[in-house]
């Protein structure tokens, strides 16, 4: 089955700086790659997603890039704010979803 690895496990940045989280996947058949944000005690919520026929997608301060050849994709958050502090999960999907282990992002005011 699919194996998704996510790095780093924890990340601290100063407010206003950028944050980058990276994921790799193993199954070349995976073709949908969502990112979820989970605040403490709350449900995961989709923040951005990308399909395998697209190399990059941007939504305001959030962007995702995909390298199908290398089987890796990354989340970029610019101009970070304290409310960006949460755990972020990447996932890869063929017919089912396989999640990474999560990155705990702390934005220091």
Partner 1 sequence: DAGVTQSPTHLIKTRGQHVTLRCSPISGHKSVSWYQQVLGQGPQFIFQYYEKEERGRGNFPDRFSARQFPNYSSELNVNALLLGDSALYLCASSFSGAREKLFFGSGTQLSVL
- Smallest distance from the beta carbon of 100 to partner 1, in angstroms? 5
* Alpha-carbon span 2 to 94, nearest angstrom: 9
Q: Indicate whether 3 belongs to the interface with partner 1 (CB under 8 A).
A: no
Give the CA radius of gyration of the chain: 13
DSSP assignments along 62-87, one per residue:
EEEEEETTTTEEEEEE-S--GGG-EE
Is residue 22 a contact partner of residue 9, using CB atoms and an 8 Å limit? no
Q: Enumerate residues 30-89 that contact partner 1 by CB under 8 A.
A: 31-32, 34, 36, 42-46, 49, 51, 89
- Smallest distance from the beta carbon of 83 to partner 1, in angstroms? 19
Q: Which residues bind partner 1 (CB under 8 A)?
A: 1, 4, 6, 31-32, 34, 36, 42-46, 49, 51, 89, 91, 93-102
């Amino acid at each position: 089955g699919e194996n998704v690895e996510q790095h780093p496990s924890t990340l601290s940045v100063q407010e206003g700086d950028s944050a980058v989280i990276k994921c790799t996947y193993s199954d070349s058949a995976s073709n949908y790659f969502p990112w979820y944000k989970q605040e403490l005690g709350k449900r995961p919520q989709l923040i951005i997603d990308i399909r395998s026929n697209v190399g990059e997608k941007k939504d305001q301060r959030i962007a995702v890039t995909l390298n199908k050849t290398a089987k890796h994709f990354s989340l970029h958050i610019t101009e970070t704010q304290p409310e960006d502090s949460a755990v972020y999960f990447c996932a890869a999907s063929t017919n089912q979803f396989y999640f990474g282990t999560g990155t705990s992002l702390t934005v220091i005011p």
